[in-house]
Chains A and B, each alone.
Chain A
Amino acid sequence: MSPPTDNAFAVAPKPLDNIEAVTIRFAGDSGDGMQLAGTQFSDTSALVGNDIATLPDFPAEIRAPAGTLAGVSGYQIQFSSQDIFTPGDAVDTLIAMNPAALRVNVNDLRPGGIVIVNEDAFVEKDIRKAGFSANPLEDDTLARFTVHRVKINSMTEKAVEGLGLSNREAGRCKNMFALGLVYWLYDRPLDATLNFIAAKFAKVPNVAKANTRALKAGHAFGETAEMFASHYHVDKARLAPGTYRKITGNEAAALGLITASRLAGRDLLYASYPITPASDILHEISRLKKTGAMTFQAEDEIAAVGAAIGASFAGLLGATGTSGPGVALKSEAIGLAVMTELPLVIVDVQRGGPSTGLPTKTEQADLFQAVFGRNSECPVVVLAPCTPADCFQTVIDAFRLAVRYMTPVMVLSDGYLANGAEPWRFPKLADLEPIRIPAAGQNGHEHFLPYERNADLSRPWALPGTPGLEHRIGGLEKEDVTGNVSYDPANHEHMVRLRAEKVSRAHIEGRELIWYGDDSGDLLLVGWGSTYGAIAASVRRARKKGLKVSHCHLRGLNPLPAGLGEKMKKFRKVLVPELNLGQLCLILRARFLVDARELSKVQGQPFTISDITSGIDAALEEK
């Protein structure tokens, strides 16, 4: 987990240096193909057995004006021979395709780090557009770094010459040149990317050829150019034995929804309206129709949740996915699902807000919306995955609770989990516990009683098409047991309390929290969701230094894990790091009367390890 020491990149006499972990960042214009280069690099690194963590960071505009700061797109990856928790704090190697990319990213590069610049792009006009007063390659802007000036444009053009490509098409291959060069620098094989190119451009052979040539040219340049005195090798990570794949949070959520449907023996309808950063779940499930999963791209957010609820009413696993603004639109319908006591899973891939906010950036500020954001007393179960791969287990848990307690369940992912990738030791279907659905019946009554309760306080899930179970449900208050419309005051209070009681029982047994460290001490960090990696890494470091710090990470947010209050009270201090202004912290203070303190960051960026480490140090220093 520890980042490379400062001299890891010092020019060494050996041609191949072994190092533990590296953080690199590809940065360029949003049209430069940096996301693709980054994804390829992480795929390859995963395949050679490194542990990886990634952080794509791209503008909301599809094509912001070329060369501007607003248009810079980046992809960061940390790969390591150790277990890692985050995409890395400081960048070891930066690939800057133009002056704007250099300007936006150079401050994240550690002193002594490598910067590879596309020299051809450093022309007067673009240098000014990036806000530099002079060419940063000529002055001492980069004095603290090892700078490699590479004419990526012209070398790419030369590499693809003779293939009959337009200038534009030729220009599009430069990301492959850069990738090839970085592959050489970090001793990665080209095969996976070569296969990818062949498959992706199967229908346009000259484009496939051009990309192949550019990739190989970049690699060969690293080999032959005198400027790189050394290159580096990162060994396979010592991951637990097993078979792995690489997975992003959105892929894992999609796969989890489909798998839940298998485990429950009920078809899935995933209804959604396109919204960043949740759309990939819709794409992924749509691509996997062969599993029997159905998707519905609705006319709006409300229609999406409505269709999911309708599907649930008729016996399917109904799910919808969106981001914060979409949850706001769905709120009334979620309330209907609470009132009608129907299973429903809502995946909220949180992004920076309020309003449209920062669509492509990450944030954790929808917790209040998830827990409280509906009219009246309207509790739902709220869960949060803590890593990209954990989205899989979390949505399966969500469905398990949804059908057992006949309730909506909200899953709080975020942009960082959604787009970030990690190696995943995936399970087999047979390893997963089936989702059991209690049968609905007339139970000896003359008429079917749609609001009769079982031991979990759940009502029966009776499906249209079944003779004898005809019943009517709706948004008006229902009389308990019969389900008839009721305005009776005592019944209303009874039902309000019953719905709350039911949700308060919906624990994901055994998976409600992740605990690391002793069960008492000076400081407990309580986190939830995507901050897991940064908190886990910081707490491990603190404990190595001998500090009495523990980490409690919540996967269940409503209901909160049983006994959480007592657990917190065994620590002198409680610190709650969140990418919001202290939402969980406020809930913990209100619920348990503990003096929990917030550690907030709301910049559209995840915590770095040093953010948390400083928080720990400050908390412990304070008497």
Chain B
Amino acid sequence: MSANTKAADVPVLQPKDFASDQDVRWCPGCGDYSILAQVKKVLAKIGARPEKTVFISGIGCSSRFPYYMNTYGFHSIHGRAPTFATGVKVANPELSVWIATGDGDGLSIGGNHLMHVIRRNVDVNILLFNNRIYGLTKGQYSPTSEHGKKTKSSPMGTVEWPVRPLSIALGAEATFAARAIDVDVKHLEYVLERAATHRGTSFVEIYQNCNIFNDGAYGYATDRTAKPDNVIYLEHGKPLTFGRDAAKGIRLHNLRPEVVNVEEVGPDDLLIHDEQAREPSLAYMLSRMRYPEFPEPVGVFRCVDAPCFDTQVRDQVREAQAKAGDLDFDSIIAGPETWTVA
């Protein structure tokens, strides 16, 4: 995060300093507001500079994000934000580059690019606002909508099966994969800060409520009474427990997760979360845990170090230049063989 060094002579910025002069036009009550607020808070906290920060988006409600930030911004075309972000980051690795996308933008039309930006480990932060519906086009089912969901384009219920964004990210070898919930603001802030400070692609799935077209999609995870039984907070090195007083836990049985009563099995039997495991299978397994069979994990699933695409591209050029020494550009134009006509 070289772009965000706090220097003594630059004024400390407040979250509001990251707000642009444009009116925010999401529907009142939309989960996007909370995400916007937490992002601004985190940028201020880590000492980000607006001029060194770029928000890039595709199309959809979430993709309006760049207009509301007083940073550089690029509201691009549907699904393609990762491609523009890759170009920006290669052009200037000093920049802190963020991608705001959604379940339709990122997983449907842009699924290919999402996979490849993660695979390459381009040093960008991807925020995938997952509201499990198409909002901007007014309510069609999305790639994360549950099977049977009735929408305008599926009046009898969709006959498609949803994908799990984190499974896709981990399948594409994400070096940082995490999940947070829009209304769980403290935890969201924590996850965003972790994402911002990770070098390499940070992929964050954010459960986001679309109160207009899919209200309450995450009620099980946000409702005060239901939440403890349905959400597990992942903490590195800690056992997976949930429920009131952490009475329930997850253990592995025949290579499968199993909900157990902590008192009955004892704490030693529980699965210990290791976000730094090089082998991503356990993180992948966590990404498969889905309500109502399981509580759904939130927090950092995986965070490992690996070389970044953008710096490696630059390194190769530097290496080639060093090897060539003092380059006479005219010899490049001339090529290996020339002849002279008198």
B335: interface (CB < 8 Å): yes
Q: Do A470 and B72 touch across chains, with their CB atoms under 8 A apart?
A: yes
- 6 examples of A-B residue contacts, CB within 8 angstroms: A239-B341, A243-B340, A251-B335, A306-B87, A464-B95, A474-B73
* Interface residues in chain A, defined as those with a beta carbon under 8 Å from any beta carbon in chain B: 43, 46-47, 49, 192, 236-237, 239-247, 251, 255, 258-259, 262, 267, 269, 271, 288-294, 296, 298-300, 302-316, 318, 332-333, 336, 340, 426-429, 447, 463-476, 484-485
User: Which of B35-43, B297-305, B318-326 makes up part of the contact surface?
Assistant: B318-326
Kindly provide the distance from the CB of A401 to the nearest chain B CB, expressed in whole angstroms: 21
- Considering only CB atoms, which chain A residue lies closest to B328 in the complex? A429
Cβ of B339 and Cβ of A243 under 8 Å apart? yes
A312 touches B75 (CB 8 A): no
Which of A311, A473, A484 makes the CB contact (< 8 A) with B88? A311
Which of B46-54, B216-224, B245-253, B270-278 forms part of the interface with chain A? B46-54
The chain B residue with its CB closest to the CB of A428 is B330
Range of interface residues on B (Cβ < 8 Å): 35 or more
Q: A43-B337, A464-B95, A472-B75 are in contact. Are A303 and B52 (CB under 8 A)?
A: no
A242 to B84 CA separation, bound complex (whole angstroms): 43
Instruction: Out of A46, A299, A313, name the residue touching B116 (CB < 8 Å).
Output: A299
A606 to B327, CA, bound (A): 39
In order of increasing CB-CB distance, the 10 nearest A-B pairs are A310-B87, A306-B83, A474-B75, A314-B91, A472-B73, A310-B84, A307-B87, A290-B324, A311-B87, A289-B320
Q: Mark B116-142, 1 if CB is under 8 A from A, else 0.
A: 100000000000000000000000000
Given contacts A246-B337, A308-B87, A314-B92, could you give 10 more A-B pairs where the C-beta distance is less than 8 Å?
Answer: A271-B87, A296-B313, A303-B113, A310-B84, A336-B76, A426-B333, A463-B92, A466-B51, A473-B74, A473-B75
Whether the Cβ atoms of A333 and B51 lie closer than 8 Å is: no
**B330 to chain A: which residues have CB within 8 Å?**
428-429
Of the listed residues A43, A313, A466, the one surrounded by the most CB atoms of chain B closer than 10 A to its CB is A313
Interface members, chain B 46-94 (any A CB < 8 Å): 49-52, 54, 56, 59, 66-67, 69-77, 80, 82-92, 94
Q: Note all chain B residues with C-beta closer than 8 A to A316.
A: 87, 91
A292 CB contact (under 8 Å) in B85, B89, B317, B341: B317
> In the bound complex, what is the Cα–Cα distance between A106 and B91 (angstroms)?
53
Q: Does B154 sit within 8 A of A, measured CB to CB?
A: no
B14 within 8 A of A: no
Query: Is residue B254 within 8 Å, beta carbon to beta carbon, of the partner chain?
Result: no
Decide: A245 near B338, CB < 8 A? Known: A299-B112, A427-B333, A472-B67: yes
B88, B115, B335: the one within 8 Å of A313 (CB) = B88
Q: Measured between C-beta atoms, what is the minimum distance from B54 to chain A in Å?
A: 5
Most chain B CB within 10 A, of A314, A463, A472, A484, is at A472
- Known contacts A269-B90, A299-B112, A464-B92: A242-B80 contact under CB 8 Å: no
| Contact residues in B for A296 (Cβ distance below 8 Å) | 86-87, 90, 313
**Residues of chain B lying within 8 A (CB to CB) of residue A291:** 327, 329, 332
Residue from A240, A251, A300, A303 with most neighbouring chain B CB atoms (10 Å)? A303
Q: Which residues of B contact A244 (CB under 8 A)?
A: 338-341
| Other-chain residue from B52, B66, B332 in contact with A472 (beta carbon distance below 8 A) | B66
A474-B66 in contact given A43-B337, A243-B340, A464-B92 (Cβ < 8 Å): yes
Residue of A288, A299, A312, A429 most packed against chain B (CB within 10 A): A299
Bound-state CA distance A485–B317 (Å) is 38
B77's partner among A240, A313, A336 (CB-CB below 8 A) is A336
Complex-state Cα separation, A46 to B115, whole angstroms = 47
Name B333's contact: one of A255, A315, A340 (CB within 8 Å): A255
Contact, CB under 8 Å: A243 / B90: no
Bound complex: CA A51 to CA B238 (Å) = 76
A290 touching B327, Cβ below 8 Å: yes
Task: Report if B20 contacts A (CB, 8 A).
Answer: yes
B334: interface (CB < 8 Å): yes
Q: Taking the complex as formed, is B316 at the interface, i.e. its CB lies under 8 A from any CB of chain A?
A: yes
Closest chain B residue to A476, Cβ basis: B75
Chain A residues within an 8 Å CB radius of B317 = 289, 292-294
Set of chain A residues within 8 Å of B112, measured between Cβ atoms: 299-300, 303
Query: Bound complex: CA of A333 vs CA of B80, how far in Å?
Result: 9
CB distance from B213 to the nearest CB of A (A): 21
Q: Is B342 positioned at the interface, with any CB of A under 8 Å from its CB?
A: yes
A561 and B342 CA atoms in complex are apart in Å by 36
Instruction: Indicate whether B22 reaches chain A with its CB closer than 8 angstroms.
Output: yes
Q: Within 8 Å CB of B20, what residues of A?
A: 472
Closest B residue, CB atoms, query A392: B333
- A470 neighbours in B (Cβ, 8 Å): 50-51, 70-72
Q: Taking the nearest CB of chain B, how far is it from the CB of A261, in angstroms?
A: 10
Q: Which residues of A contact B329 (CB under 8 A)?
A: 259, 262, 291, 429
Nearest chain B residue, comparing its CB with the CB of A310: B87
**With known contacts A429-B329, A429-B330, A333–B87 Cβ distance under 8 A:** no
Identify B51's interface contact among A245, A299, A309, A469, CB under 8 A. Answer: A469
A307 proximity list for chain B (CB < 8 A):
83-84, 86-87, 90
B39 to chain A, nearest CB (A): 15
Query: Who on chain B is nearest to A289 by CB?
Result: B320
Cβ–Cβ < 8 Å partners of A427 in chain B: 333
With A310-B74, A314-B91 as known contacts, state yes or no: A465 contacts B52, CB within 8 Å.
yes
- Complex Cα gap A516–B90 (Å): 46
Which residue from A43, A475, A484 sits with its C-beta under 8 Å from B22? A484
Q: From B71, which residue of chain A is reached at the shortest CB distance?
A: A470
A51 to chain B, nearest CB (A): 10
CB contacts under 8 Å to A, within B179-221, are: none
Could you tell me the distance between the alpha carbons of A547 and B88 in the complex, rounded to whole angstroms? 57
**Are A310's CB and B85's CB within 8 A?**
yes
Closest residue of B by beta carbon distance from A238 = B341
CA distance A192 to B94 in the complex (A): 47
Q: Chain B residues near A294: list those with CB within 8 A.
A: 90, 313-314, 317
Shortest beta-carbon distance from B338 to chain A in Å: 5
Chain A positions within 8 Å of B334 at CB level: 243, 245, 426
- List of A residues within 8 angstroms of B74 by Cβ: 310, 313, 340, 472-474
Which of A237, A288, A465 has the most chain B CB within a 10 Å cutoff?
A465
Choice from A271, A333, A473 contacting B73 with Cβ under 8 Å: A473
Closest-CB distance, B59 to chain A (whole angstroms): 8
Q: Is the CB of B95 within 8 A of A240?
A: no
Q: In the assembled complex, which residues on chain A have CB atoms less than 8 Å from the CB atom of B338?
A: 243-245, 426
> Measured between alpha carbons, how far is A241 from B77 in the docked complex, in Å?
51
Given A303-B86, A464-B54, A236–B341 Cβ distance below 8 Å?
A: yes
Q: A470-B50, A473-B74 are in contact. Are A241 and B341 (CB under 8 A)?
A: yes
